[in-house]
Amino acid sequence: MRFELILALRYLREGQAQTALILAGTTVGVAVIIFITAIVNGLQSSLAARTLSTQSHITVKNPDDAPTPVLDRSRLQVSAHIEPRVQRLRSIDQWEPILRSLPGEPHVTAVSPMVTGAGFASRGAANKSIAIIGIDPALYTGIVDVPAHLVSGQFRVAPGEAVIGMELARDLGAAVGDRIQVVSTEGRTDVFRVTGTFDLGVRDLNRRWVIVPLRTGQTLLDLPGGVTNIDLKVDDIFLAEDVAQTIAARTGLLAESWMAVNTQLLTAFKNQTMTTRTVRLFLILIVALGIASVLVVSVVQKQREIGILRAMGASARRIMMVFLIQGGIVGAAGAVFGSGVAAGMVWLASKALRQEDGSPLLETDVNLGIYLGTALISIVVGILAAAAPARRAARMDPVEAIRYG
């Protein structure tokens, strides 16, 4: 073992109580950092997962029709007031090649074409405003797992069949097997047999959605062979916006990520992350101050010893190393113990302790990267915190140290 390491270990062992104290501080710091990160990540991903279970991550569609202002020769606008243009239901131009190209985009895991528009559903005297959702069931299941949200019947949409929202079914008094009549805003009518009802957890969807075969939807909405949206799923939900922008830039279409649609949720996430970061920063600061103050005391206590070591040929640089290593050891040991404590806390919160309904006490999301990252921070902070005491030790004048017995 090297001289510097031997001395560092011995000094740490000598200062039992102090060492135990800073080690405990570092351990708690590391454990809390990992644990709050796990909780916040868990909360965010479960919230995001819940939100995204009924949404696509990215929806590609036609950009809104823009008004064409009247311009004079110098391209100055001449009209004082411009009316927004009426938005027509249009198909995405050349959607099939676009659809085929999208799975090639990085991070994209599923694509599904959809034709959607408004209409009315009626059964007997009941008449409700609805959203006609024309999809390919196999593809669409990759975006929103409707079968997992079925309340009754099955997720089957053959021609002439529809799966409708739970509340719409109640409003219409329709059960599985009953027939409903659908009129689109384009004035076309069709009759469907209800094969299933679903609860997507969002009232608006449960009350309005009528899922029909893509081809039927196209006919109803007078868009033969066309689609209005392409839904996408990505492997990292927080990359959705980046992926959306890439797609928008490439296709010239409007690509909306869930992040752009759910700005409030995203703001909440950002605030949470900011709060966690602040807490983390202060924890690191406190741990660093603890390590530094204990080492400063140690340097002062060992003033004479340092002088003797210097007289015996130890350079200032090596004396400095002795104290930097102590900081590093405290950081590393704190990282190991802290990771252990954090793993225990995560296990308690997510596995051992349950709420009354059997779900975990806290949603946690933690991976090896968080453990390793925090461990690295701990070691670096330990060494940095030791820098000032170490410099002080290195500057110790050997003559001063040994002059007075």
Partner 1 sequence: MADRDSLVGPDSSGHGGLESRSLILHLAGVRKSYNLGTPIETEILHGIDLTLARGEFAALIGPSGSGKSTLLHILGLLERPTGGSLEVAGQDIATLDDARLTELRGRTLGFIFQFHHLLPGFSAIENVMMPTLIDRGRVDAEMRARALWLLDRVGLKDAADKRPSALSGGMQQRVAIARSLAMNPPLILADEPTGNLDTHTADDIFALMRDFNKDEGTAFLIVTHDPRLAGRCDRRIEMLDGYAHPAEQLFVLATNN
Chain contacts with partner 1 (rule: CB under 8 A):
1-3, 6, 10-11, 13-14, 304-305, 308-318, 398-399, 402-403, 405
Facing residues of 210 across strands?
132, 164
> Which has the closest alpha carbon to 319: 332, 330, 333, 305?
305
Shortest distance in whole angstroms from residue 7 CB to partner 1 = 9
Question: Smallest distance, Å, CB 313 to partner 1?
Answer: 2
Q: Which is nearer to partner 1, 22 or 102 (CB)?
A: 22
Helix-helix angle 316-347:3-14, to 10 degrees: 60
Residue 317 vs 351, nearer CB to partner 1 = 317
Q: Which is nearer to partner 1, 348 or 402 (CB)?
A: 402
Q: Alpha carbon of 359 to those of 58, 133, 349, 353: distances in Å?
A: 30, 33, 11, 9
- The CB-of-323 to partner 1 minimum distance in angstroms stands at 15
9/265 with CB nearer partner 1: 9
When the beta carbons of 12 and 243 are compared against partner 1, the nearer one is: 12
Smallest distance from partner 1 to CB 37, Å: 38
Q: How far is the CB of 1 from partner 1 (least distance, A)?
A: 6
Cα 51–64–58 angle (5° rounding)? 30
**In sequence order, which ranges of 348-397 are alpha helices (DSSP H)?**
368-395
Q: Which is nearer to partner 1, 22 or 31 (CB)?
A: 22
Provide, rounded to whole angstroms, the least separation between the CB of residue 16 and partner 1: 11
Show contacts of 280-288: CB within 8 Å, 24+ apart: 280/33, 280/36, 280/37, 283/29, 283/32, 283/33, 284/29, 284/33, 284/377, 284/381, 286/25, 286/29, 287/25, 287/26, 287/29, 287/334, 287/378, 287/381, 287/385, 288/381, 288/384, 288/385
- The encoded tokens of residue 42 equal 């868990």
Q: How far is CA 158 from CA 117, 141, 181, 225, 350, in A?
A: 19, 15, 16, 17, 42
Distance in Å, CB of 399 to partner 1, minimum: 5
User: With respect to partner 1, which residue has the nearer C-beta, 19 or 55?
Assistant: 19
